[in-house]
Structure formats: structure tokens, C-alpha cells
Structure 1
Amino acid sequence: MLEDVLAFERKMTVFARDVQRGTLSHFPSLREFREENTHINCEYLQDAIIEMQTAFGKRFSEFREEKSTLSFPVTPLDIDPCQLNMSAFPGVSQPDLEIELADIADKDLWMSKFKSLTADLEDVARQKAVLAREHKWSDIENLPKPDKLVFETWNAIPDTYMNMKTYAFGVLSIFGSTYLCEQIFSSMNDIKSKYRSRLTDDSLQSCLKLKVTSYSPDIEKLCSDVQKQKSH
């Protein structure tokens, strides 16, 4: 997400220069339109792109400021702990986090987990780019989910490094927008309607988990754990 935001900002700079030069290399439809209609205000288009870039930069300014924090779940050992924002995670001890980072750096077994994670994420990004170029959108949906790969890696790290895990999971739980929150409230209103007003909080939570996440329960295992009722 962070890389996508910064990349889009740089692309808007390229677009603005393209319009300023008048080449319109990145706007083939507009270039074709100009060939038929010579009266195109390129200065207006350039100002519009620059204004969009400025607004985009303000909206996502925290992404740039918190780059180290947002990168922690994937590359925790490449980041200076002093650059991490600790105020958002009061349950994490910075001194203990620094000691854990120093300790895990010598553990080849756990170091290999993060190296494998980076390699897997790069492979997924590479496959996604190839499939997007070939317009195979359905195949992209079948690729491993990056967030799942990150979560699986941290779940494999022992609780000895609890401050690291707490910080990583805290960063991963940050919402990129209010869309997910709005989706949950909307789904909650549908699930706990006036016809199901006596639904308990635990049942509501389970229903919401099934509705708004990719969680897939193991039905067979759940059924096997339930005591079978004998017929009378």
C-alpha cells in the first residue's frame, strides 16, 4: 500500500511534465482528440494534475512520515527502532523491543522467515504484474494474499519476541480508510435486525466474521467436536 501511494505520486509528476511538453505520450486518447481539435488548454490540464498531486500528498502525508513504522511487519530488521512511532502502541516497551530485535538478528531460524516472506511477496508482485499485463484479472484473485503471508510469518515467530509481534500486529491492524468500518456497521445492521434483536454479542461477532472476512470455518472439525445426541 505504501509503495503504491508513493509510486502514484511520482507518476503524477510524470503526467504533469508530459502535458507541459505537449507530447501527451501518456494520454493517447487526448492526443488523438487534439489532432482533430487544436484548441486544447494544456496549461489548464497541467494545473489540474498538479492540484491533484498536492491534494493527494496532503491526504497521504502520514504515509511518508510513518514509512519506517508501516514497513516494520515486512522488514523489521532493516529499520532503526528509534524511527518507529511508539505512541500509537502503548502496550509495547521500546527498550524491550530493541533488545528483541538485537536478539533475533542472530537467530538464523527466525531470520529465514523474514527472508522467505520478502521472496514470497516479490514473487506475488511479479506474477501480479505479468497477469495484469495480460488482463487475466481472475487469475490475480487466485494469487496468495500478501497480508496472509505476512500474518503467517509473524504467527510462526515465538512469543519470546512478544513486543515485536504486538507492534507488527498493531501496524497490520491499521485501517487504510473508513470503508471497512462502514462495511462492518452496515453488515451488523443487516444481521442484527429487528427480527433478530435477541442475538447475543458472541453470535453477532461470529456472524460478522463470516460476513466481512475471508475466514472459512472447518465445518467437519466443528461437527466432530460437538457431542452427538443419541436418539431416545
Structure 2
Amino acid sequence: MLAYLADVFSALSELNHSLQGRELNIVTASEKLAAFKEKLVLWIKRVKRGNLVNFPCLEETVTENSTLPPTFVAKIVEHMQMLCTSFDGYFSCGELQTCNIWILNPFMQNLEDVDDDGSIKEDLIDMRHNCGIQMEFTNSQLDHFLASQREAYPALATKGLEVLVPFATTYLCEQGFSCLLHIKTKSRNRLNSEHDMRVALSTKTLRFDAIMEKKQQ
């Protein structure tokens, strides 16, 4: 059982790591969670057939001429089924509506599936006939691309950003708390860490040498 749990927690750790990062959005997170749930269903079928390819640690503990006891297999299947149920309770792996799939790629979606209300369909038609915008989309991240189109196509950009901008996980909050623990220690408990945290959490590389040269007497 210990080897099985090591394999399961390793898979969960890998999933958790893939759900971290500044560029993660709700759509990507939902896709990863939905894929993991489908993998669990596949693993259950394989374990029932005695296939342990997805559990390397457990597979190493099983000798060539032996198989897992039926009671042990039943416990593994029961645990993974409970894991699937837990995912349904903790995560809402909702998919984009068909009329909003264009958000993932404005140049590939079938226009017949796009909602006729508003000006989004007209904006998509205009964008598809603009080679410069297509090149910009190819070389930009999705949220950055939509943000750059707020003036030219405000309705389209607003609709897309409403889906992509909200935080998908608590990764950034946890990163901020970890940073605060390193900066504001017991010996510096009266420190106002606001500016220090802004520097520590910034994605930009600051030129401290140039700043210090201007401040020196």
C-alpha cells in the first residue's frame, strides 16, 4: 500500500506543479483537471486487468511470477474512485460554452458556433482578414493579445479577458505569504515590508547597481 500511495502522491504533486505559474488561466487549469480525472478512470480499468504501468513504485514491489491479491486491487480501485469523487466536489472542471471557444483561438473557431448577439462575430471576421493581427496572435500570449485589442475590438477583448484574467488558483497568494515569511522575521517584526515585497515579487529585473550609483555621494 505504501508503494501505491507513493505513486498516487507523485501524480498529484505533478498535477499541482502544473497548476502553478503566473501565466495559468482558468481555461488551462480546467483542461488539466479534466484530463487528470479521465486518467484516473483509465488507471482504474488498467489496475483491474493487473496492468500497473502507471504505478512504477508498486510495480517494482511485485515480483515477476506474482500478482496483487484481489482484496488489495479492490482497495486501490476504491481509493481511486473516491479520488474521482473528491475532484468533483473540490473542483468545477467546467468547459467553455461552444459559443465562447473562439477565446482560445479567434482564427480557428467555426463562426457558425459564435453567438450572433453583439459585435463579436463581426470583430472576428475583421480580425481574420488582417494579416498583421494574425502575426501578432502567433507571437503573443493569449491574454496579452486580447488586451492589445481593447481599442480596436473592445467587445471581443472584454469578453475574452473576462474568462482569462481571473485567478485560476491561489498560487500568487501563497507566493506572497512565502515571501513575507522570508522578509518579515522575528528580528524584523516592525518592518514595513510593502516595498520589499513589491521588489521580491516583481517579474522585472531591477538594475540595483545603476540605482545605487545615483544615490551615492
How many angstroms does 1:208 deviate by? 4.2
Query: Which residue of structure 1 lines up, in the alignment, with residue 106 of structure 2?
Result: 76
Query: Which residue of structure 2 lines up, in the alignment, with residue 121 of structure 1?
Result: none
Query: What value does the CA root-mean-square deviation take over the aligned residues?
Result: 4.1
Alignment of 1:133-212 (within 5 A): 149-157=141-149, 159-184=151-176, 187=179, 195-197=190-192, 204=194, 207-212=196-201
Alignment check: 8 A CA contact 2:136 2:145 kept: yes
SS at match of 1:64: coil
How many angstroms does 1:14 deviate by? 1.5
Query: Which residue of structure 2 lines up, in the alignment, with residue 25 of structure 1?
Result: 53
User: In structure 2, how many angstroms separate the alpha carbons of the residues matched to 1:102 and 1:208?
Assistant: 44
User: In structure 2, how many angstroms separate the alpha carbons of the residues matched to 1:51 and 1:175?
Assistant: 27
Which of 48, 59, 65 is the matching residue for 2:95? 65
How many angstroms does 1:49 deviate by? 1.0
How many angstroms does 1:107 deviate by? 2.0
User: In structure 1, how many angstroms separate the alpha carbons of the residues matched to 2:97 and 2:74?
Assistant: 34
Q: 1:113 to 1:174 in 2, by over 3 A?
A: same
How many angstroms does 1:30 deviate by? 2.0
SS at match of 2:118: helix
SS at match of 1:170: helix
TM-score (norm 1): 0.56
How many angstroms does 1:185 deviate by? 5.4
TM-score (norm 2): 0.60
How many angstroms does 1:150 deviate by? 3.0
1:42 aligned onto 2:37: no
By relative contact order (CA 8 Å, sep 6+), the higher-ranking structure is 2
Q: 1:29 to 1:3 in 2, by over 3 A?
A: same
Task: Tell me the alpha carbon deviations over residues 22-50 of structure 1, each in whole angstroms, 9 at most, x when there is no partner.
Answer: 23232243234343685451011111112
Which of 37, 51, 74 is the matching residue for 1:9? 37
Which of 56, 67, 84 is the matching residue for 2:87? 56
Q: Aligned AA for 1:43?
A: A
Is there any run of 5+ residues in structure 1 with no aligned partner, and where? 84-93, 118-147
Q: 1:95 to 1:207 in 2, by over 3 A?
A: farther
Which of 104, 107, 127 is the matching residue for 1:104? 127
User: In structure 1, how many angstroms separate the alpha carbons of the residues matched to 2:167 and 2:101?
Assistant: 15
Task: Tell me the alpha carbon deviations over residues 77-126 of structure 1, each in whole angstroms, 9 at most, x when there is no partner.
Answer: 4274439xxxxxxxxxx614344233323223213333x25xxxxxxxxx
Alignment check: 8 A CA contact 1:100 1:164 kept: yes
- Number of corresponding residues: 179
Query: Which residue of structure 1 lines up, in the alignment, with residue 12 of structure 2?
Result: none
Query: Which residue of structure 1 lines up, in the alignment, with residue 3 of structure 2?
Result: none
How many angstroms does 1:161 deviate by? 1.2
Q: Aligned AA for 2:42?
A: V
Q: Aligned AA for 1:51?
A: M
SS at match of 1:177: coil
User: In structure 2, how many angstroms separate the alpha carbons of the residues matched to 1:158 and 1:38?
Assistant: 59
User: In structure 2, how many angstroms separate the alpha carbons of the residues matched to 1:182 and 1:29?
Assistant: 31
